[in-house]
Structure 1
């Protein structure tokens, strides 16, 4: 395995910096989970979500499997846990069924935390030893994987708490921004022509972000900000969920089967929403969130527009700094903000659905070995989202980052920005 096969240049920073980054990100996961009671960490509210305890264990298993396991002399203290905490790496071995992760009352939370501490010590020792050329790249992949699960931990516990009639509050002390009027919706145009997308550089990137390549972009425009709660409420009030001609066929079937009438976490009156900060009045100026691709597409059609392509989104976002309402702000909820740039809120608040299916770029090659299962095998029946959310770590997202989910998914912090052909 080489640095280039992992999408990384050979590490040049001292081992101490690598160890600090590893331990800092691992600690951040513990910090996010520390707000919960032990009982909270076991629940699985639906098959697509996972218990917090499982996230804590699986991310640890990842380091044990793909770093410690490289040493033939390594003996796992709990080899039976490999079956429990493998996610989808078929080439590594069998795994416990995903929809039944909530049945794993054992090992206990204290056992899992002790497991994390033990593996953290072992990885830190490996980093200090510095005798494995591939170690810096593998550690970086592992911490990026950990950051993905930090976001999933937040979205999954939000879904779990929303099922409880008591509506537990995850972050009652999180700062709440005052509502400010959203800027008027405008479209920023771009010319047609050959453009380049995909990652270029020496830093980390996932294999699905490359290779960088040329493609053609038609002339069009993209909205200066995401769609707001007030704008989406108008769609609801205008019968958007009762008008089949606005929906893709599978979308309309899902609306009927699931009884959707509004975004996830809105109350029936469309006046309040459940958040990680508790239940609060819906801010009309904040970006709408927790809508599926089907809902985003239907809204765009109702608005006389469409969703942008990922080519359009990336080429317009590439020159912008990666800053915004991300996980590091501690808000854990999309919020209305003012901005001075032509395009606002491209990063943070909510992931933005694009009209692009999740497929490979020309010349794509997955990672070698079992790590090749990380991204490539999911390039089927899913759609691309861009930009990160209020649950995404700030140093984890970039303009080329390709998130992906099936079109019915809406428990993630997912919203939309409009695009147009003119």
Structure 2
């Protein structure tokens, strides 16, 4: 399978418009920041804003401009080492946990690098090359890659800002809407032999394919995600100290890292508070709980007399639900109360991130995009308040390690029968 096996239903002109829109949105995301904000790296899993800006630019340079434009010249060939992430076939790379040490190139240098590559891609997309359709397809992949990094950019920034005792807000604080979550209810689904995964001519990642049949037993799915109010009840009932509720790896991690509540929470005058992209705010009791690991979600589900859904159940239950919700585009930057399926919080499933039957990654370094991560991680569905809406599909799968909490991670309950 070659790069041409990637497919798209966009015209070259539509791809050029998408490229301009995505790059422009990234620029908007960093407008509130100063250079000091953009070099912070708070842990190995998170990267500095400046690195995200450069890496997403490197992606277009590495996979499109260098191999396909004979006279292309990078502003600095050393950027290929600094801003490669994990693509082994693309060459050596700077240590992931040392990205915060890259003081040079400066933020201004990275901005110039972005402009240089943007001009080259824009010029390429109005050329008369015979391989222009293939190039446009790769540009679309690069745009979706950058959308993923837009989400990472704001969530990595949240983690970094949380270490500052001044509690700086990325965006101005705004009051949460005063709305109540509906009563928890479960909707029954018959199951049976169902089809999941992507099929069609539009964009999708390789890990969403091929579409295939799988058997799902009858099940019930909650009408909304678990709320902060329900999570506090779990905490008040000693959930974090009730070992039988937890997987062995989970309780070991919870004890080692002293988990007593979701990430970014603390108590103040008897009230729970949380740090958000809009600064410190009281926990909204009816909003979906967020920043909880798979281990915590799995323990909560057992405490609640339920379980996490499989990804096949999740996709089957929501296959006909329009993709509307609280996404990055809405600029709320935190989960909101309601009954939505899409947006707000990524929802943990009980399914390991594994290849679908017949999965074949593209050849070359592009094939490292998803396939090499298909071990020891769990699938989440639905998108979050930090996810660009244009990235979402009914078949979209994201994945994280079971201990990770810094992303917008929540849960929806399921039951048998």
Normalised to the residue count of structure 1, the TM-score between the two structures is 0.95
Instruction: Give the corresponding residue for 1:143.
Output: 143
Counterparts of 2:146 and 2:128 in 1: how far apart (Å)? 22
Counterparts of 1:391 and 1:253 in 2: how far apart (Å)? 30
Counterpart check, 1:95 vs 2:96: no
Secondary structure of the residue aligned to 1:91 is: helix
Partner deviation per Cα, 1:132-158 (whole Å, 9 max, x = no partner): 331111010000000000000010000
What's the offset of the Cα at 1:24?
1.1
Instruction: Give the corresponding residue for 2:282.
Output: 281
- Contact in 2 for aligned 1:3/1:10 (Cα 8 Å): no
- Contact in 1 for aligned 2:298/2:307 (Cα 8 Å): yes
**RMSD of Structure 2 on Structure 1 (CA):** 1.3
Query: Which residue of 43, 53, 56 corresponds with 1:46?
Result: 43
Instruction: Give the corresponding residue for 1:204.
Output: 203
Instruction: Give the corresponding residue for 1:340.
Output: none
Counterparts of 1:97 and 1:44 in 2: how far apart (Å)? 13
Q: Judging changes above 3 Å, is the alpha-carbon distance between structure 1 residues 10 and 226 closer, same or farther for their aligned structure 2 residues?
A: closer
- Contact in 1 for aligned 2:344/2:384 (Cα 8 Å): yes
Counterpart check, 1:246 vs 2:245: yes
Normalised to the residue count of structure 2, the TM-score between the two structures is 0.97
Q: Judging changes above 3 Å, is the alpha-carbon distance between structure 1 residues 9 and 114 closer, same or farther for their aligned structure 2 residues?
A: closer
Unaligned regions of 5+ residues in structure 2, if any? Answer: none
Secondary structure of the residue aligned to 2:164 is: coil
In the TM superposition, what are the counterparts of 1:220-231 in structure 2 within 5 Å? Answer: 220-231=219-230
Q: Judging changes above 3 Å, is the alpha-carbon distance between structure 1 residues 221 and 4 closer, same or farther for their aligned structure 2 residues?
A: farther
Unaligned regions of 5+ residues in structure 1, if any? Answer: 338-343
Counterparts of 1:171 and 1:410 in 2: how far apart (Å)? 21
Instruction: Give the corresponding residue for 1:237.
Output: 236
- Contact in 1 for aligned 2:3/2:363 (Cα 8 Å): no
Query: Which residue of 103, 106, 111 corresponds with 2:104?
Result: 106
- Contact in 2 for aligned 1:220/1:419 (Cα 8 Å): yes
What's the offset of the Cα at 1:178?
1.5
Give the length in aligned residue pairs. 412
Partner deviation per Cα, 1:348-406 (whole Å, 9 max, x = no partner): 00000000000000000011211000000000000000000000011111110000000
Instruction: Give the corresponding residue for 1:296.
Output: 297
Partner deviation per Cα, 1:233-279 (whole Å, 9 max, x = no partner): 00011101111111101000001100000000111456111111111
What's the offset of the Cα at 1:192?
3.1
What's the offset of the Cα at 1:77?
2.6
